[in-house]
Amino acid sequence: MSKSEKQGNYLSPKQFLKSRRPKQFSDTIMSENKSIDRAQLEYYLSTLSNRSQEKEFECYAKRLCELKICPNLQSNTGPSGGGDGKVDSQTYPVSPTTQLGWYIGASYDAAKDRWAFAFSIKKDWRAKLKSDIKKIAETGRGYKVAYFVTNQYVPSKKRSDLEDELSNKYSISIRILDATWLLDETFKNNYQQIAIDELGIPTSKQSLINKGDLDTKRVKMLEDYDKQIEEEISKDKITKNTLDLSIKAAILSRQLELPRHEIDGRFSRATRLANYVGDEFSRFEAAYQHAWTAFWWFEDFKEFKSLFLIAEKEVLSTNNVYNLEKLVNLWFLLTTIREHDKRLVPKVFYDQHTNKLKNKLTDILKDTSNMTAPLYAKSLLLLVDLKEKAIAGDDELGRVLTDMEQVVKESQNLIGFPLRPLIGVLTELSDFLDDYPEYEQLFTTMSKIVSRRDGELANANMALLRGSKQLQSGKNYEAIKTLGGVLRNIHKYESKDDAIRALYMMGVAYKNVGLYWAARGSFLSAGSLATNDFWNYREVTLEQMSCYEELKRLELKLGRLPHLLEWNRIDLYTKSILVSQGEDQNKFDEAAMVFDLMLGVVFLRMDSNEIKKYQSLPDTLLSNGLEHSRIALLHALGRDDELPNDFADIVPVEDREKYFKGWAAQYSSEHHPEVLDDLEDDEICLFSNILGCTVNVTTKRQENCLELAESLLAAMESILATSTLYNAISTEQFAQVNITFSSQQNELVTYSVIDNDDRPTVNVVCGKFNPHRLGSTEQSEIKDSIFKINAELITRIIMFKDFKRELKAILEEGGTDRALSFTSTFVRLGNVLGLKPKHKTSDWIKNQKEYTLNQPKGYRGIVALPEDSSPIIKEQPSSSRGLYDNIKHTDIRTVSVIREQLWNDAQWEGAGFATSPDQPPILMFLFKNAENGKKIFSAWIERFSNIDKEDDLRITIVRGIDKKNPFYYRIGVGANIKKELSPARLVGTIVRSNMMTPTNSDNLDRFLADYKKYGCFWIVPAAFNKSGKPDMYQPLSILKEKVVIRDAWEIGINDLDSSLIRQGDNPIIPKSEIEEAPVIELIQSRMIAE
């Protein structure tokens, strides 16, 4: 009981809610009310015949019948008393869809049957009744029902007897409505103004209405909604939007405090539409809002009880915890009614439905695939428990408050958990909980959380603004850093829209710098959050559409046909709903056409081997709104005979070659894949280019393996996205991840690392789990595995100037959080696309017509014009910023033949030479650890063979390194990158070098002389034996034709061999070059960098 009740100041439900939520009620003020009382109207009705007001009564009675019985009444067609038509009014037929739109009148059989109406003010009502009914029957029109409306009083016994007598006599259902009915309906529904206007009742009072600002807007909105509903129904285009508008219209009529029949009528219309085009969610929402209205606005508890049962039936058939929250709200109202009227809500009824609610919430508690729903269900159970114990005066109430405090703490970082509303409810309960010390502790905890969250959101809003401006200015890396740092702080229920916006902007930034898997993960995270609005509230939003549109474009870039078709499907569905809600169809059509044409480019460029895989795809494209892609595919298949007639009319045969060549020339590596994958193989290959290192992931096609592969790549891209700001470089050209599946493995994910091959390799074994239904513990376990696997790879392929300091900086800016928490596909993909997405092309072309390939053998497709490429090779700048400005990860290439780990383990000690009269000279690579040295050469042989025909290895000898020691030289080995420049804009390579310190040049001179003689030389791994002599491992020899001999003074900045000059070098410079020698500037730049 509230304090006001304790004090005897009882407020009715309507008064109570109006005092707390005044904006939910009408703000119109009526200073005087032009009206009449019941006695006045009763007198006026009884004297109508004295004034010969037959016509006025007919208009009044007809209006009431339209409002309370059926709205489809025709006007009378003759003199008063029936006229030539024998009836005063009758129904006209309407379609079932038109009937759906009625919100006044309750007899829906009148939509299909013919009903007759007679109106009379004669005092001898009995004779008039019999006369009118006889005339109605004699028309032979097949009336099913006849109403007789009189201004006289008819005793109930006589009315019943006459209705039965005449119904039996004429086989028509007769219904008599008398003065009592007229008076009851007029005053019960506030129809006094109708009586005044239609009967011309004089009144001396004048209405002075001051319409409020809220009501002014509401009236306009209600008119617009009703008009749109009527249009959609009349055109037989009833959609979910029609239903949504009908619910909104009903709520507006409630807020305007219109007559009850209009409010109830609008809710009844919403219920009919929900049954027609809705689902259990829509049916529940209509029943919930109607029940809420019955309690708070009409204080009709009997009606509320009936509506509660309807709402309960709908919500208990689902697992939607947000609807269960609303059912808990209704249960609280049911509890309030029981406290005041135990006859209306007896104990058996109350206990039965309380247990139903508790059992459903308990079922959701057991769902481990969702972190938010079970905790939210627990909070609702505790609220129910709290109410019950408060009513019973149970001593356990304190324990419930303690449990609620724990829920509040646990919910802080769950974006789907409505913590603010829960805190609001708990604060409202302070009236009867203030005396409990546990409530004081709960309140303190809530205050601290609210204060901290408010501060976090304030800071996050500033960061969002900054990140948005950075993105607009093209500072993509800075935007990722800024936005990624605030994701955790805005990952809250009350800031969900900001979280969606931040994730979307991060997706754009990732995409702009060529990190397509991170972009996909970010857009998917944003889309999943936005899609929660659909699952929880059935709302379709522009945010959802924007994410789906980006995802289908990304899947096109990634070359995954079935995935792009799946996202295209949901994108088209979302747009169709948005158009029905008033969005611009033309804007959507333009974006859809661009995507359609982009996909068509890919088909036009395919050769005969590729295109034949898609012979059954054309009609699938057409059914999914991809008409232009279908045209391109048919042409690529050589099936111009199947092109649609309208296209053939626009592009005649003689112009088609030019037309399709122009279309194919629109190819762009920024938007199009190199190849399109149908994803039919048992093994799928994914790849990413991160700081120049190509990371290949080979995975089994099982969904759990595939999603692990996607999440691994997305996390690695995200973690290393901003490493460009710290001038990190990749030390490996390739890295490999192999994912296999084992149904016998207990662990979700296991892995092992191999460093012996020509690239870092991680072998991952994926256990048996459903990627769409993971519990919080499973998600944490997989997240931890993804982090560890990425850590293993990053430490092997990335080099920072100060590894610990700069990697720590990435972590502190939220690198791991943005990567592991906001790019993973687990659960999110299923949340948007469902548990069985179509991820094979065969899923899309079942039972489709096959358009047999009709191209000549060896058909190569339409080759696009090559893109202009301007590679950049430059020395790392001295500033900590600038190397990667405006450059994408996809524009960077690492070309390397050096496996850092192997070279570290092999411990390269230097070089040696061996010559003989009858064969090319030998350059020995002397390793302290012979076995690892052999592995280096084995990897080279596997990659290049025993003859380096393509000159992949660049071996450079730089002489004149030290002025004081003229015979010193430095030898370097790395990749020959000249031929690798295109298509990259920035190319990096790893060079291993060794300083050789001979006292003379005899050995080097002999080597160079023999090299000149034979035009080639051998390289071979070697190691000193116990006697101090080198042992060569000649089976691993590699023959090379080129060695680069340089003088140190001629090497400058941006030179391929610049890494072979060190800061402390004192090179020999000829006198003629003493001022202009390139090496001088290079050494100075080294000093500045240090």
pLDDT digits (tens, 9 = 90+) for 1000-1057: 999 999 999 999 999 999 999 999 998 889 999 999 999 999 999 999 999 998 888 9
CB 198 within 8 A of CB 60: yes
Q: How far apart are CA 342 and CA 916, in angstroms?
A: 113
CB 901 within 8 A of CB 755: yes
Same domain as 899, residue 788? no
Check whether 867 has a pLDDT greater than 90. Answer: no
What integer pLDDT is reported at residue 929 of this predicted model? Answer: 94
Buried b (16+ CB within 10 A) or exposed e, 198-231: bbebeeeeeeeeeeeebbeebeeebeebbebbee
- CB atoms under 10 Å from CB of 134, counted, come to 13
Q: For residue 838, which phi and psi values (nearest 5 degrees)?
A: -85, 100
Q: How far apart are CA 402 and CA 409, in angstroms?
A: 11
**Tens digit of pLDDT for each residue in 119-156?**
999 999 999 999 999 999 998 889 999 999 999 999 99
CB 74 within 8 A of CB 91: yes
Q: Is 484 part of any domain?
A: no
Same domain as 188, residue 59? yes
Sign of torsion over alpha carbons 22, 26, 31, 33: negative
What integer pLDDT is reported at residue 883 of this predicted model? Answer: 53
For the chain, the average pLDDT equals 87
Q: Please report which confidence band the pLDDT of residue 881 belongs to, taking 50, 70 and 90 as the band edges.
A: very low
Same domain as 821, residue 721? yes
What integer pLDDT is reported at residue 879 of this predicted model? Answer: 35
Sign of torsion over alpha carbons 1021, 1025, 1029, 1035: negative
Task: Out of 141, 173, 203, pick the residue that ends a domain.
Answer: 203
Domain count, the chain: 3
Check whether 106 has a pLDDT greater than 60. Answer: no
Same domain as 960, residue 1024? yes
Q: Which two tokens stand for residue 913?
A: 């030479």
Task: Out of 203, 221, 247, pick the residue that ends a domain.
Answer: 203
Q: Is 943 part of any domain?
A: yes
Crossing angle for the helix pair 54-68 and 192-199, nearest 10 degrees? 150
The whole-number average pLDDT for the span 395-406 is 89
467 or 79: whose pLDDT is higher? 467
Instruction: Name every residue whose Cβ is closer than 8 Å to that of residue 297 and which is 6 or more positions away in sequence.
Output: 14, 254, 257, 263
Q: Please report which confidence band the pLDDT of residue 604 belongs to, taking 50, 70 and 90 as the band edges.
A: very high
Q: Is 471 part of any domain?
A: no
Nearest to 453 by CA among 483, 484, 423: 423
Q: pTM for the complete prediction?
A: 0.74
What integer pLDDT is reported at residue 983 of this predicted model? Answer: 60
**Tens digit of pLDDT for each residue in 186-213?**
888 888 888 998 999 887 555 556 788 8
Same domain as 186, residue 68? yes
Instruction: Name every residue whose Cβ is closer than 8 Å to that of residue 1079 and which is 6 or more positions away in sequence.
Output: 1048, 1049, 1050, 1051, 1052, 1061, 1067, 1069
Same domain as 1010, residue 913? yes
Crossing angle for the helix pair 561-580 and 585-604, nearest 10 degrees? 170
Q: Is 138 part of any domain?
A: yes
Check whether 1 has a pLDDT greater than 60. Answer: no
**CATH code, domain with 98:** 3.40.1350.10
Least confident among 92-101, 283-292, 627-636, 739-748: 92-101
Q: How far apart are CA 536 and CA 513, in angstroms?
A: 35
Q: How far apart are CA 98 and CA 471, in angstroms?
A: 51
CB 660 within 8 A of CB 605: no
Residue 1005: CA count within 13 A, CB half-sphere: 6
Q: Is 254 part of any domain?
A: no
Check whether 900 has a pLDDT greater than 70. Answer: yes
Nearest to 467 by CA among 241, 722, 843, 651: 722
The whole-number average pLDDT for the span 678-693 is 90
801 or 847: whose pLDDT is higher? 847
Check whether 424 has a pLDDT greater than 50. Answer: yes
Q: Is 621 part of any domain?
A: no
Q: How far apart are CA 781 and CA 216, in angstroms?
A: 56
Q: Is 820 part of any domain?
A: yes
What integer pLDDT is reported at residue 917 of this predicted model? Answer: 87
Residue 668: CA count within 13 A, CB half-sphere: 7
Task: Out of 203, 233, 261, pick the residue that ends a domain.
Answer: 203
CB 14 within 8 A of CB 200: no
Length of the chain: 1090
Check whether 117 has a pLDDT greater than 70. Answer: yes
Same domain as 1068, residue 937? yes
Least confident among 87-91, 613-617, 867-871: 867-871
Q: Which two tokens stand for residue 375?
A: 């905790």
Q: How far apart are CA 370 and CA 372, in angstroms?
A: 6
- Give the 3-state secondary structure of residue 235: coil
CB 696 within 8 A of CB 737: yes
What integer pLDDT is reported at residue 750 of this predicted model? Answer: 95
What integer pLDDT is reported at residue 389 of this predicted model? Answer: 87
What element of type H or E holds 958? strand 953-959
Query: Which bin fits 679, alpha (ψ -120 to 50), beta or left (φ > 0)?
Result: left
- CB atoms under 10 Å from CB of 41, counted, come to 22
Q: How far apart are CA 260 and CA 297, in angstroms?
A: 9
Which residues are registered as beta bridge partners of 975?
953
Check whether 98 has a pLDDT greater than 80. Answer: no
**Where does residue 681 rank: exposed (0-12), middle (13-18), buried (19+ CB within 10 A)?**
exposed
Q: Is 844 part of any domain?
A: no
Check whether 34 has a pLDDT greater than 60. Answer: no
**Tens digit of pLDDT for each residue in 367-377?**
776 778 899 99
The whole-number average pLDDT for the span 9-33 is 80
Sign of torsion over alpha carbons 103, 108, 112, 114: negative
What integer pLDDT is reported at residue 756 of this predicted model? Answer: 67
Same domain as 115, residue 187? yes
Q: How far apart are CA 724 and CA 604, in angstroms?
A: 36
In this structure, which amino acid lies at residue 812?
Answer: E
Same domain as 196, residue 89? yes
Same domain as 824, residue 711? yes
Same domain as 819, residue 913? no
The whole-number average pLDDT for the span 625-637 is 95
Q: Which two tokens stand for residue 613?
A: 């895989």
Same domain as 765, residue 901? no
Structural domain span for residue 904: 889-1089
**Tens digit of pLDDT for each residue in 464-513?**
899 999 999 899 999 999 998 888 888 777 788 888 999 999 999 999 99
**Tens digit of pLDDT for each residue in 548-590?**
999 999 999 999 999 999 999 999 989 888 887 778 888 899 9
Q: How far apart are CA 537 and CA 524, in angstroms?
A: 20
Strands 953-959 and 969-975, sheet pairing: antiparallel
